[in-house]
Amino acid sequence: MRRTRILTAVLALTAGLLLGTPPALAAHADPGNRATALAADTYTWRNARIDGGGFVPGIVFNRTEKNLAYARTDIGGAYRWQQSTKTWVPLLDSVGWDDWGHTGVVSLASDAVDPDRVYAAVGTYTNDWDPGNGAVLRSADRGASWQKTDLPFKLGGNMPGRGMGERLAVDPNKDSVLYLGAPSGKGLWRSTDSGVTWSQVSSFPNPGNYAQDPSDTTGYASDNQGITWVTFDESTGSAGSATRTIYAGVADKDNAVYRSTDAGATWSRIAGQPTGYLAHKGVLDAVNGYLYLAYSDTGGPYDGGKGRLFRYATATGTWTDISPVAEADTYYGFSGLTVDRQHPGTVMATAYSSWWPDTQIFRSTDSGGTWTKAWDYTSYPNRSDRYTMDVSSSPWLTFGANPSPPEETPKLGWMTESLEIDPFDSNRMMYGTGATLYGTENLTQWDSGGKFTVRPMVQGLEETSVNDLASPPSGAPLLSALGDIGGFRHTDLTKVPSTMFTSPTFASTTSLDFAETSPNTVVRTGNLDSGATGAHVAFSTDNGANWFAGSDPSGVTGGGTVAAAADGSRFVWSPAGTGVQYTTGFGSSWSASSGIPAGAVVEADRVDAMTFYGFKSGKFYVSSDGGATFTASAASGLPAGDSVRFKALPGTKGDVWLAGGASDGPYGLWHSTDGGASFTKLSAVEQADTVGFGRAAPGASYQTLYTSAKIGGVRGIFRSTDKGVTWTRINDDAHQWGWTGGAITGDPRVYGRVYVSTNGRGVIYGDTAGTGDDGGGTGGGGDDGGGGGQTGACAVTYKVTNQWPGGFQADVQVTNTGTTAWNGWSLKWAFADGQKVTQLWNADYTQSGTAVTARNVSWNANVAAGSSAAFGLTGSWTGANPKPASFSVNDAACTVS
């Protein structure tokens, strides 16, 4: 499976990193042009847990402080290991919109002399997809805060060759000296003032010449991968004096390794080195005097058909081929490479590009003289594994697969270019894959004949690219459309879902929607892996828990966008490869829509099931016959390009909000109350890229608006509770997450909660101070203090929203009809016919026999007089399914409707 994320080149973004605290802001308001203040709010931000989801090309352990480790991602920033919780802490959430490319991390370096210091070389693309240059970030507090030095060239955290490295290195003897290997023919660079200033090492003789595909006109695969790693021989220096011997890897198959023996003043190609390969890694064992090198015939991280492992004796200049298999038997390259610092003769390496049947990991305890494998064949296709896999913490890593031997699920991995043994603990190893970061804490079982256990060691590291988000009014609080791993149904934001969307499985989901008045009906569209066949559209009738494939119209090549009618009776789809289509039912056949161009973005009215909308190249389109025909609106002044997202407001027919544009034309937020016949631009909003709706504020009649926008000269995530008249910035400069222009939605059940898409940091959700949060998830028993002994009048609405043989779904709303607020609540009832709760969300619950108790969770504990709390449940039934006859809150009887 090919896993890659590329931010579309349509974005015209500039540079600049915002750090510090939110400024005092002021802005002018919209429709009536009344001046208003732009307020700020304090939010708590978290990830909807997925755990991983993308490529981890680099892991770096500090060599002098135990348990200090970092991980880098190709588009999702950098992380620091937190030993007390065994989780990862994100370090680059402060990267702002204009500097979105700095969420791609080319290399990390942790200072062995001063472990508080850490450095990151950042930049996502070396071609024009990223308009900004790269930078080196430096921190004196382990990544809690950063200072930045801009570079005169680009860096490519998401470019070919990104798994090689590390390109950035700190001198282990004189830590004011750093080296950085540059791509694009820019050579080797050095800093002598702890990363503040940089200059090119003019004496370095070779800037590299290898490109994955020199004929690629986009500049992505045709870039020279340059200087790929720098390694110091610490034994050739002393504290405070620059290390004398330094090695550097170059993307040149004939001249891959260079050395300096005079602290970087002069450099020369090492004689006798192998040719025909690129040196992905160079790891030095100074104790035994060996430089180990992992070679591949390409730069990776996906490709690589041949490879070798070599050992270079630094004292004698002797090269030894220590490859664990004959060259003729390789169909992969080597990259992941590590030495056990407690036992330097122990070396490990990975066959990073062995996609099928699995990656391979090799281990030697005699400096590469002999090797054993993580798995081997007994009698083909049967395997014998030296390890066991435990993915119970991230169960989706099975990818919903049921492979035949010799494949297994979950896989040991793919794209395994990072592999590190903890320098203080021979039993702990971590390695990155294309989907997660795995680890073990009993590695030496390998040598004693036992099995070591591999588990995801990735909690806190969230690395998905988010294309679309939905928060239905009932059922799961969050549905997501993701790049590379399809998407998820979150019934609890604090827990990793058991599986991704499957049946069918998309490589990337491009769009999803639910029927507003029948939210169990959900549709998604997506792209398939290269070479794969199958449908690009899928449907669910149980709120996204289970799926079935629709059929594709002729010519479909990709997912595009899709919209569900308000009642779920029909769908409109704008796929890649062909024109807009519509269907009644669940896509067994499609008909071409007329009057709307191919490639239009489509959405549904949230009230009228026959009304759909579209947008393409500055024109807004409306259909009133279920998507069969569209008519161009007379509305003018809308963005001319196609970087637009729009949505219709639930509960009001024809209420449409549109965000988008570009800096060289109309750009902002528009509102229509007549179904798109006309739009009014909000003057206060200078730029906007997403728009979404959430539960109305207490006392407000209009739903809360959310947008990723520029207002009052400041980029951020904004909220309006008064129809866009005034705006509140709800994020701050420490929480920006680079590019957030994919999607946004509020939660229709929780005021203030917003879900924000990122391009590599997963799904971020925020709660306003006072709302609190426990993830809005399913209950599992236990008492969190809900109830509180409060008394007072109450009313309960219990509604079965869906029922099927043996099962049902219900929504419950409990209202405080008294005169004093509830500080915690506990709702009790008894089922009349033996029904059993199987799942419950937005509350905790217990059931004993027929008696059920639902208790508040943290964020909905306080219910003011006249206000309500709501939760949903699914259950099982036999015979009959009547609703409960009576309810009580905190032991006080309620009226029932």
Which are the catalytic amino acids? 74, 484
Q: How far is CA 826 from CA 240, 784, 790, 873, 885, in A?
A: 65, 11, 9, 16, 17
Q: Element (H or E) spanning 874, and its range?
A: strand 868-876
| Cα separation, 776 vs 753, whole angstroms | 10
Distance of alpha carbon 529 from alpha carbon 556, whole angstroms: 14
User: How big is the chain, counted in residues?
Assistant: 897
3-state SS of the chain: helix, strand, coil percent to 5? 5, 40, 60
Measured CA distances, 13 to 66, 133, 308 (Å): 40, 12, 42
Do 746 and 471 form a contact (C-beta atoms < 8 A)? yes
Bridge partners of residue 592, in order along the sequence: 581
Cβ neighbours of residue 531 closer than 8 Å, sequence gap 6 or more = none
The kind and range of the H/E element at 447 are helix 445-448
* Closest to 24 measured CA to CA, from 807, 712, 756: 712
Could you tell me the two tokens for 631?
């008519």
C-alpha 719/C-alpha 335 separation (Å) is 46
Q: Which two tokens stand for residue 333?
A: 């390259």
Host H or E run for residue 466: strand 466-470
Amino acid at residue number 629? T
- CA 830/CA 884 separation, integer angstroms: 6
Burial of 660 (0-12, 13-18, 19+ CB in 10 A): buried
| CA torsion, ordered 565, 568, 574, 578, to nearest 10 deg | -130
Query: In this structure, which amino acid lies at residue 825?
Result: W
DSSP element (H, E) containing 232: strand 227-232
Which amino acid type is present at position 701? S
In 3D, which of 272, 286, 304, 210 has the Cα closest to residue 294?
304
Residue 36 phi/psi, 5-degree rounding, is -140, 160
Do residues 803 and 881 lie in contact, with contact meaning Cβ atoms separated by under 8 Å? yes
Are 259 and 245 within 8 A, CB to CB?
Answer: yes
CB burial string 562-592: b at 16+ within 10 A, e below = bbbbbbbebbbbbbbebbbbbbeebbeebee
Sequence-ordered list of residues with C-beta below 8 angstroms from that of 101, at least 6 positions apart, any chain:
122, 123, 124, 125, 130, 131, 132, 134, 738
- Cα–Cα distance between 200 and 189 in angstroms, integer? 4
| Residue among 659, 300, 650, 678 at smallest CA distance from 471 | 650
Nearest to 333 by CA among 258, 279, 399: 279
Q: Which helix (H) or strand (E) holds 446?
A: helix 445-448
Side-by-side strand order, sheet with 744-746? 43-47, 764-768, 754-756, 744-746
Coil, helix or strand at residue 859: helix
Distances (CA, A) of 643 to 5, 467, 677: 18, 13, 20
| The two three-digit tokens of residue 326, written as one number | 């004959």
CA nearest neighbour of 17 among 148, 157, 105: 148
Q: Which two tokens stand for residue 714?
A: 């400041």
Report DSSP state, residue 880.
Answer: -
DSSP codes of every residue in 517-537: TEEEEEEEEEEPPTT--S-SE
